Each structure stands twice: as C-alpha cells, then as structure tokens.
Amino acid sequence: MTDKVKLLHHVEAINWNRIQDDKDVEVWNRLVNNFWLPEKVPLSNDVQSWGTLTPAEQQLTMRVFTGLTLLDTVQGTVGAVSLIPDALTPHEEAVYTNIAFMESVHAKSYSSIFSTLCSTKEIDEAFRWSTENVNLQKKAQIIMDYYYGEDPLKKKVASTLLESFLFYSGFYLPMYWSSRAKLTNTADLIRLIIRDEAVHGYYIGYKYQKGLEQVSEEKRQELKDYTFELLYELYENEVQYTHDLYDAVGLAEDVKKFLHYNANKALMNLGYEAMFPSSVTDVNPAILSALSPNADENHDFFSGSGSSYVIGKAVNTEDEDWDF
C-alpha cells in the first residue's frame, strides 16, 4: 500500500522572504503560537474525578479516546503528509509538516491521559476494541483510500472532513464531562486539540478552494457532488458509530446534533453552504458552553431583550492590539 504514496520529485530551498500566499505565513505563525504539549496539562488532577465515573462510563471514555487516537494517527502519519506533493507553494508544504507533527502530538496526548487514569490492562483492552470496531475502522479506511488516491482536491476534501467532522463524535464526550465538572483537566487538553483541528480544517479547506479556482466549471461541479456524497457516506457511518458508543448512556441523540453542527462547519471550511437545518443542529447549550464560554445566546443582541447589551465586559483593555 505504501508504494502508492507519492513524494515530491523536486525540492528547492524554501525562501520565507518571498511569499506567494500570505495565508501560508499567517497559518504557520498561528500554528507555532498555538504549540503545546500534553505534559503542560495537569492531568493527574483528574484522578479523583475519574474514580467517580461508573465502570461503563470509564470504558466509554477510553473507547472514545482510542477512536480519536486512531484518527490523529491517520492524519499525522498519512493524511497531512499525503497533501505535501500537491502543495501550490513551498510554504504550504512546510505548513503540512507542522500539521503532521501536531497530529502526532495529539495522538500521543491520549496515551498521556490513559497512563494517568487507567491500568495497563484497561488500556490494552481499549486499543483492542479500536481495532475491532467495524464503524471506527470503516471511517479510517474510507479516508485512507482517498489519501492513497490520485486526485489532489479529493484528498483535501477527505482531509477537511476528517479534521472538521469525523473527530466530533469523540470530542463530544470530554465536553459533556466538563459540563458536569468532571475530568476538567482532560477537557482542557481536548480543547487544545479542538483548537488545532479548527486551524487545520480552515487551512486545508482554504487550499481546496484555491485549487478549485484552477479547474474547469465541470470539474468544480463534480467535486462539489463528490464532497456531499462523501460527507453523506461518512455521516451514515458516524451515526452507527455514535449509537455503538453512546446508546448505553442515552446520549446518542445529543451527540448527533453535535455531528450535524460540525458537518455544517466542515462544509463551510470547504466553501460550501451548511447542509443541516437549524432544527437538527441545536447543540445542547451545556456542550456549546463547554466548547466556548462566549457561544451562548446571551450574546445575541438582535434577538435578545437588550439585557445582552454587552459592551465587551471582561475584556482586557490593556491589550497592545490597537493604537486607537
């Protein structure tokens, strides 16, 4: 299989003083500024909280995290690297190496969580589950097939859907625990991963759109149809995966709303309109608030009573952002 992975045939010394696309520099800087390692997060403070979960809840959590580990491994070892030969600029190539490394940091960080909270036997069992779960393996395989394929833009679609959609059936759970004041340090670590994935999805989606500018209208339509078909195929599989994991704790329906919400964002990263209507994207406010404390409806001045006439409270006005 690996014989099909392409490498660049021609490389020139990268000159960061001659930039073709400012977005490359912007995203590079952003990724570098966001750099983190799991050792910085005091995961051991979650040991007591872990003990308050039932055995079934602990098992669910470990399975979710091995599933996320698999996706990060795919993206770090194959996905981001497979995008390098198709890059439009040398700086884009460099950004993909950054993304690849960070995905490996993410994959390793789940092992930090495991070694802090669980026994070796439990860890081994969870990893065995991840190799045996049909729906988890299927989603990894669907994406892998595109990474080994020939079409540069289809690879970017698959990659963006992985970064911006496929992780979220897993990300839901630590946000859920966090909203109930459980495993809060683990949730802090996951939020760092969620932030990174947003930059990755944004950037790969942006490069997809740059690529679209260079192909015919017919090809664009084909890629759009392909995107929605792939999303639908992945979505069907995600729904089954979600039921596999969450039915026992009664959270599957809540997770599915989170999937719809993130599928819409994945499409937007690719430049397409949201597909799921708001009637099925009404994510549990507790989950949204665990994700971003600023995301609640109280910030909607237009629809509110005016009580939300927030003139930026709790904002550090000493910031050097502005001169005005």
Partner 1 sequence: MTAVQMADGAVGHGRGAAPGSSTDAQLIYFSSASENTHRFVEKLGLEAARIPLHTNDETIYARRPFVLVLPTYGGESGRNSIPPQVIKFLNQERNRSLLRGVIGAGNTNFGTTYCLAADKIAAKCHVPALYRFELMGTSDDVDRVKKGLEDFWTRQSQTAQ
| Contact positions with partner 1 (CB under 8 A) in 188-207 | 191, 194-195, 197-198, 202, 206
| Contact positions with partner 1 (CB under 8 A) in 4-63 | 21-23, 26, 30, 33-34
| Contact positions with partner 1 (CB under 8 A) in 73-112 | none
Closest CA to 109 of 202, 226, 1, 188: 188
Told to judge if 148 belongs to the known catalytic residues of this protein, a careful annotator would answer no
> Beta-carbon neighbour count of residue 271 at 10 Å?
13
Tokens of 31: 């990724």
Give the nearer residue to partner 1 in terms of CB position, either 37 or 134. Answer: 37
> Beta-carbon neighbour count of residue 231 at 10 Å?
20
Residue 281 CB, shortest distance to partner 1, in Å, is 8
**In the set 28, 101, 129, 272, which binds partner 1 (CB under 8 A)?**
272
> Side chain identity at 250, as an amino acid letter?
G
Give the nearer residue to partner 1 in terms of CB position, either 108 or 220. Answer: 220
Q: How far is CA 142 from CA 74, 139, 182, 243, 270, in A?
A: 11, 5, 34, 19, 19
Choosing from 96, 110, 208, 246, the catalytic residue is: 110
Residue entry with tokens 């950054």: 98
Residue 180 touches partner 1, criterion: CB under 8 A: no
* DSSP assignment string, 1-64: -GGG----S------TTS-S-HHHHHHHHHHHHT---GGGS-GGGGHHHHHTS-HHHHHHHHHH
| Choices 66-74, 107-115, 218-226, 245-253; region in contact with partner 1 by CB under 8 A | 218-226
**Which spans of this chain sit near partner 1 (rule: CB under 8 A)?**
21-23, 26, 30, 33-34, 191, 194-195, 197-198, 202, 206, 209, 212-213, 217, 220-221, 224, 264-265, 268-269, 271-274, 278, 281, 288, 291-295, 299-303, 309-313, 315-317, 319-324
Task: Tell me the catalytic residues.
Answer: 110
